[in-house]
Amino acid sequence: MKTFLMVLLAIDMLAVVIVMLVGAIGLVDANRSGKTSNRLMRLRVALQAVAIGLVVLLLMTGR
């Protein structure tokens, strides 16, 4: 169970980094709408919340 949660956490953290990079690259693109940037920010926040939840689960299973 602990290994499974660690793998999920690693995948989630990688997804957070990818969404952050896509958002940062989107800041340079003048054609991108504000809606897209807002959607990416919401996705990043949701992924970070999932990561925090996985860390809490890992801490609870570690005892």
- In tens digits, the chain (63 residues) has pLDDT values of 899 999 999 999 999 999 999 998 888 877 777 888 899 999 999 999 999 999 999 999 976
The pLDDT assigned to 13 comes to 97
Q: What is the DSSP letter of 28?
A: H
In a domain, 4, yes or no: no
The pLDDT assigned to 60 comes to 93
The Cα 51–Cα 60 span in angstroms is: 14
In a domain, 40, yes or no: yes
Domain count across the chain:
1
**Rounded (5°) CA angle 44-10-27:** 30
**Rounded (5°) CA angle 30-48-55:** 160
In a domain, 48, yes or no: yes
The pLDDT assigned to 63 comes to 65
Q: Which domain holds residue 51?
A: 11-61
The Cα 8–Cα 19 span in angstroms is: 16
In a domain, 3, yes or no: no
